[in-house]
């Protein structure tokens, strides 16, 4: 059975990071660069700066900081002072930059945008993990991610202690309500999937009523996704399933109710809130010399 992924392939991640960082730098510098710094700071001026976090958080996005420095100025030095997944207090210095002052200031906003956003996801994920501690449920991210940012955001979830439901449409089978409607029934959809993939793929079926669950339990599904059910409805479904399939719940999950879902007995809780609702963390760059 496929396991829920905890980290994207490193080569795939690095390629995505290089591309995304390039786009972010291009939209900030355009074809003229930092015209303010060029006017104010002599080209030969060199110096250093530190990036400081203004609130407690879980760090993510350090590789993005390094990649931004590399693309803006290969001679600029990025010195990480913490690691991804590390919890840090307010006021902590997380990185030091050394090099041309123009380059440091050109990199400032793009680096902070990446680290603020990704650390926000990691920190928010850690809060979900803490909320279900001892309950036995795993917290997973869904495909609700910022366009083009999926691998980075999924890695941020992993940095916060979470997992991924699936990376995309290409790496896991999930038969949803529209698939069932198009196929005519759960049984017909499952038969088509088995015919296409044999036993090589774990098959998950989404249901939103206990009646649909009863139909799925009589099929060849490996996992069931309970969609937009209350914790009480989920508990009834878990009792009906009696361990015959892995139970995942999604839809309407938040920090206020995630513990209730965990205590209902599900193995996996997936939520788009990890990537779509996480507040950005507050970072700043300060010149030191």
pLDDT tens for 132-170 read 999 889 999 999 999 999 999 999 999 999 999 889 999
Out of 8-17, 57-66, 98-107, 225-234, least confident range: 8-17
Q: Is 227 a catalytic residue?
A: yes
Is the pTM higher than 0.85? The answer reads yes
List 98, 108, 206, 248, catalytic entry? 206
Q: Is 206 a catalytic residue?
A: yes
Q: Is 144 a catalytic residue?
A: yes
Domain boundaries, the chain: 10-122+279-287, 129-276
Q: Return the CATH number of the domain spanning residue range 10-122+279-287.
A: 3.90.1170.20
- Interval 42-60 mean pLDDT: 98
For residue 172, pLDDT over 60 is answered with yes
Q: What is the C-alpha separation between 231 and 215, in angstroms, rounded?
A: 21
DSSP for residue 95: E
Long-range CB contact pairs, 178-187, < 8 A, 24+: 180/205, 186/212, 186/215, 186/216, 186/219, 187/215, 187/219
| Cβ atoms of residues 141 and 153 within 8 Å | yes
Its sign, for the CA torsion 267, 271, 273, 274, is positive
List 70, 109, 143, 235, catalytic entry? 109
H helices within 132-185, ranges in order?
Answer: 150-159, 177-183
Calculate the CA 31 to chain-centre distance: 32
Here the tokens at position 244 are 């015959």
Instruction: Tell how strand 93-100 and strand 46-53 pair up.
Output: antiparallel
List 144, 215, 222, 233, catalytic entry? 144
List 7, 227, 233, 260, catalytic entry? 227
**How much of the chain, in percent, has pLDDT values that exceed 90?**
84
Q: What is the C-alpha separation between 175 and 190, in angstroms, rounded?
A: 8
Q: Return the CATH number of the domain spanning residue range 129-276.
A: 3.20.20.70
Quick one: which H or E segment has residue 39?
helix 35-40
- End-to-end Cα distance, the chain: 55
């Amino acid at each position: 059975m496929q396991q829920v992924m905890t980290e994207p392939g490193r080569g795939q991640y690095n390629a995505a990071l290089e591309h995304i960082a390039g786009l972010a730098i291009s939209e900030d510098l355009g074809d003229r660069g930092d015209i303010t710094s060029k006017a104010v700071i002599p080209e030969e001026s060199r110096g250093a700066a530190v990036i400081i976090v203004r609130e407690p958080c879980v760090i993510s996005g350090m590789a993005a900081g390094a990649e931004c420095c590399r693309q803006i100025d290969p001679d600029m030095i990025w010195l990480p002072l913490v690691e991804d997944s590390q919890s840090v207090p307010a006021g902590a210095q997380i990185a030091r930059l050394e090099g041309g002052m123009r380059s440091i200031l050109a990199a400032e906003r793009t680096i902070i945008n990446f680290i603020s956003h990704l650390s926000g996801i990691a920190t928010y994920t850690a809060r979900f993990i803490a909320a279900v501690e001892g309950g036995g449920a795993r917290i997973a991210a869904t495909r609700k991610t910022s366009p083009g940012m999926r691998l980075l955001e999924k890695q941020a979830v992993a940095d916060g202690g979470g997992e991924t439901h699936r990376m995309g449409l290409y790496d896991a089978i999930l038969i949803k309500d529209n698939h069932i409607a198009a196929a005519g029934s759960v049984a017909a959809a499952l038969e088509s999937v088995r015919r296409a993939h044999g036993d090589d793929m774990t098959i998950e079926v989404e249901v939103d009523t206990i009646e649909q669950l009863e139909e799925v339990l009589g099929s060849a599904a490996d996992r069931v996704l309970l969609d937009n059910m209350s914790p009480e409805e989920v508990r009834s479904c878990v009792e009906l399933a009696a361990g015959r399939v892995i139970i995942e719940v999604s839809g309407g999950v938040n920090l206020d109710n995630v513990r209730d879902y965990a205590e209902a007995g599900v193995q996996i809780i997936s939520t788009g809130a990890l990537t779509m609702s996480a507040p950005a963390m507050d970072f700043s760059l300060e010149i030191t010399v």
